[in-house]
Amino acid sequence: MTFRATRRALLAAAVPGCASAQPGLVTPPAAPGGGLHARAAAKGLAFGAALATRHMGEPDLMAAYRADCGLLVAEYEMKWSQLEPEAGQRRFRLADQLVSFARRNRMALRGHTLLWHESEPRWLSSLDARGTAAAMASHVDATALRWRGAIGTWDVVNEAVAPEHGRPDFLRRTWLLNRLGPDYLPQAFHIARAADPDARLAYNDFGIEHANLWSRRRRLGVLNLLQALRRAGAPVQVLGVQGHLQAGQPFEASEWRAFLAEVAALGLTIEITELDVNCAALPAAAARRDALAADLVRRFLDATLAEPAVRSVITWGLSDRHSWIQQGLLAEHRRSDNARPRPLPYDEAMRRKPMWAAIASAFDAAPRRG
């Protein structure tokens, strides 16, 4: 999931200057070529979005999910701190609601995420190394086993790379790393594979998409980790690219495609897992902002979908009504003019935005997969 997302509030705070949209009973209008997943499927791809159970009571939002999504991912309901807030006391009810919704609507499921430093339960800090290893193994095993056969891809490890932490292997200094050392990473993949032999197993990370020094260092770290996992015999099969795009940051298609080719050369497939746009650097006027955000998304997807190893695109939500960017938890998401963020394909009134059209057009133009 998006980095630092566990610190978000449960409900979006109102921001001055924008009337809130009221959920209605409107079904999104049909468009030539069908919904986003239908367009993706025509090219051998898939499209989906993250969803939180607290939003499932909004009929217009759910109509958009049914119209556009062939994939579903839990926004936070499958994270460790949510599933096991107390040691040994697992709570699957909310996650099961999303699994049931996906089954009823014939959507595939993506599991997110087995291990992430920001979703470790508080009680973990009271354990020694042996207890930490046992707790990690028990969590990964129980979670993957719970939905064995239902999850197509699991994010086994999320955001384990942090070049700024100064380690020669680029790894993030987390509780699990400090307690168990880097071997916890391949171990997690082996445990997940034993629990669910058929799920595809992914490493997922952020901040690697742009043509700046920060992203380049992160790409180097991600490649280093993937290579280390392969050397260790870990059954990693997928790189999850979060795709939290930053408007105003440079994006170079040739550089990005070269990175994707390096990942594919390792024998991995690639999934875009959390696509949205931070538009804080764009003009306040909604029409202009939407046009520029859509242009960035189209350029990113055109370059991404040109790589045959890419299998799917997932947005982190569908509507501006519910987005982690709305919370302004990160300084780079905050606007001095108080204009509401517009990071996703639908606006707050569930109207399709230029970003929706950009995604649709990118699928229409994408090479067909075998």
Catalytic residues: 159, 274
Q: Which residues contact 213 (CB under 8 A, 6 or more apart)?
A: none
Quick check: 185 and 178 in contact, CB under 8 A?
no
253, two tokens? 């298609």
Biggest alpha carbon–alpha carbon distance for the chain: 58
Question: Exposed, middle or buried: residue 330 (CB in 10 Å: 0-12, 13-18, 19+)?
Answer: middle
C-alpha to C-alpha distances, 206 to 209, 212, 242, 260, nearest whole angstrom? 8, 14, 5, 14
C-alpha to C-alpha distances, 305 to 81, 265, 296, nearest whole angstrom? 34, 16, 14
Q: Which residues contact 323 (CB under 8 A, 6 or more apart)?
A: 12, 276, 316, 317, 341, 343, 344
Q: Which residues contact 228 (CB under 8 A, 6 or more apart)?
A: 169, 182, 185
Amino acid at residue number 249: Q
Amino acid at residue number 307: E
In angstroms, the CA 215 to CA 212 distance is 6
